[in-house]
Amino acid sequence: MPKGKQTQLITAGRKQKWTKGVVNPPIQRASTIVFETVADKHHATLNRANKELFYGRRGTHTHFAFQEAMVEVEGGTGCALYPCGTAAIANSILSFIETGDHILMVDTCYEPTRDFCDKVMKKMGVETTYYDPVIGEDIENLIQPNTKILFLESPGSITMEIQDVPTLAQIAHKHDIIVMLDNTWAAGVLFNPFEHGVDISIQAATKYIVGHSDVMLGTAVANQNYWDQLREQSYLMGQCVSPDDVYLGLRGLRTLDVRLRQHAENSLKVAKWLQTRPEVDHVRHPALETCPGHAFFQRDFQGGNGLFSFVLHNSVPAATTALLDGMEHFKMGYSWGGFESLILANEPKSFNKLRSVANPNFKGTLIRLHIGLENVDDLIADLEQGLERYQASIQDQ
Ligand SMILES: *Cc1c(COP(=O)(O)O)cnc(C)c1O
């Protein structure tokens, strides 16, 4: 993380106007905002898009503090809030797309993003082309006259491919295409989207920003070109969030740097240990050379976190079950980014449904881990026992 970023995470969004002299901005709940004078009401109407209280749906001081903090931390011009990451993705796309448009979607996108394109966008007469996450300059061959959005996610969901974001963004901008990035893995701080050519950076704040597995929250930070349209369209679609949830997002920012550093240290140790195991074919940890796109991680990212995958030599579902059942610290759960460790398995055939053009065709099972803040040696011992159950089960077959 660049020097000064830690300080920014501590101070972001904490100006006196929001905090009223306490450390954390109070939770301000409102549907109705009341005005004493016609002049006050007029002033609020004129400035409702500029952090003046106007109507509960447009946010209160708690929301404004978090929105301001996200812009300070991630860059860009303004931050729209959504009830979850999936809503942030769907509404960011909907804010700019029209019938007859075309989307270039990374093949390794989060599964609900794919479903949104295949189900909702298709119904609206919007065509989606999936592209290989490591396509690089060849993206230009897929651009059509009606291409409106280039959507990126880096590293890719489950298989962790890291994209060459600056190259992709530069080509998209030559054709006036909006560049959107699902920046959830980087938590808004490990990868700087606006310095790399992204126009709208989207996050499931549900993950590392909240960081404690207890809140659903989505953010989309836009640059100057796209902020007004994103904000207005989001209001028109009724997107709003509870101030309690926003408060927890804001609180999560304060400890984000220390949490990420510990997640990263633990996960790298576990990843390197996995590389020594005979059951493991390769490890897809962005900080290791065996991860596709590792060079872009080295060039563009400020650090790592706890989420990575590894691939086993074989696919033996009964043995995978023996591994997964009986884990002590790694529970099976989808929403990562909390303090706790998680484990999920994907058998090779699951990618037939999850990929259109970039099926990795693994011979063996993929295991995705989220490495939490437990003692790392406890985690390795847990995985060691899991792999022993796996081996024993294979021998029984
Ligand atoms: C979890 C996740 C989302 C969706 O966030 P929700 O808040 O669960 O809707 C989107 N993108 C990525 C990469 C995610 O991991």
Confidence tier at 181 by pLDDT (50, 70, 90): very high
Catalytic residue, chosen from 182, 257, 300, 382, is 182
182 and 152 Cβ atoms separated by less than 8 Å? yes
How many CB atoms within 10 Å of residue 102? 19
Question: How far apart (Å, rounded) are the C-alpha atoms in residues 228 and 39?
Answer: 25
Q: Which atom of ligand 1 is nearest to the CA of 86?
A: 9
Q: What is the pLDDT of residue 223?
A: 98
Distance 72 CA to ligand 1 centre (A): 22
pLDDT for res 41:
96
Closest atom of ligand 1 to CA, residue 206: 7
Distance 369 CA to ligand 1 centre (A): 16
Question: Distance of CA 291 to CAs 216, 239, 287, 332, 334, Å?
Answer: 29, 37, 8, 23, 21
- Tens of pLDDT, residue by residue over 261-318, are 999 999 999 999 999 999 999 999 999 999 999 999 999 999 999 999 999 999 999 9
- Please report how many Cα atoms fall inside a 13 Å half-sphere around the Cα of residue 270, on the Cβ side: 35
Per-residue pLDDT of 206-228, as tens digits, reads 999 999 999 999 999 999 999 99
CA distances 391 to 19, 311, 316, 347, 366, Å, are 56, 15, 10, 17, 16
Instruction: Copy the structure tokens of residue 143.
Output: 């651009």
Per-residue pLDDT at 1 exceeds 70: no
Active site residue 57: yes
- Examine the residue annotation and report whether 114 is marked as an active-site residue of this protein: no
Q: Which atom of ligand 1 is nearest to the CA of 185?
A: 13
Residue type, 125: G
Instruction: State the pTM of this model.
Output: 0.97
On whether the CB atoms of residues 44 and 33 are closer than 8 A, the answer is: yes
Structure tokens at 119: 């189900």
pLDDT at 357 over 70: yes
Q: Would you report the helix, strand and coil content of the chain in percent, each value rounded to 5?
A: 40, 15, 45
What average pLDDT does the structure give for the chain?
A: 97
Q: Minimal CA–CA distance to 372: which of 298, 282, 297, 305?
A: 305
Domains in the chain: ranges and CATH:
5-254 (3.40.640.10), 256-396 (3.90.1150.10)
The one-character DSSP state at 118 is: I
Chain centre distance of CA 74: 13
Cα–Cα nearest to 306, from 381, 256, 346, 364: 256
User: Which amino acid, 57?
Assistant: R
Q: Does 2 score more than 80 pLDDT?
A: no
- pLDDT tens, 232-273? 999 999 999 999 999 999 999 999 999 999 999 999 999 999
At 396 the pLDDT is: 87
Q: For ligand 1, is residue 155 a contact (CB within 6 Å)? A: no
128 lines ligand 1 (CB under 6 A): no
Ligand 1 centre to CA of 42 (Å) is: 39
Per-residue burial over 5-30, b = 16 or more CB atoms within 10 Å of its CB, e = otherwise: beebbeebbbeeebeeeeeebebbeb
Q: What is d(CA 41, CA 259) in angstroms, rounded to the nearest whole number?
A: 43
Q: Distance between the two ends of the chain, CA-based, in angstroms?
A: 48
Residue showing tokens 């901005």: 25
- pLDDT band for 368, please (50, 70, 90 cuts): very high
Task: Count Cβ atoms below 10 Å from residue 148 Cβ, excluding itself.
Answer: 18
Longest dimension (CA), the chain: 80
Distances (CA, A) of 250 to 223, 258, 284: 21, 15, 31
- Indicate the SS3 state at residue 147: strand
Residue 267's H or E segment, with its range, is: helix 243-275
Q: What is the H or E stretch that residue 149 is in?
A: strand 147-153
The verdict on whether 272 is a catalytic residue reads: no
What CA–CA distance (Å, rounded) separates 91 from 219?
A: 10
120-177 pLDDT, tens digit each: 999 999 999 999 999 999 999 999 999 999 999 999 999 999 999 999 999 999 999 9
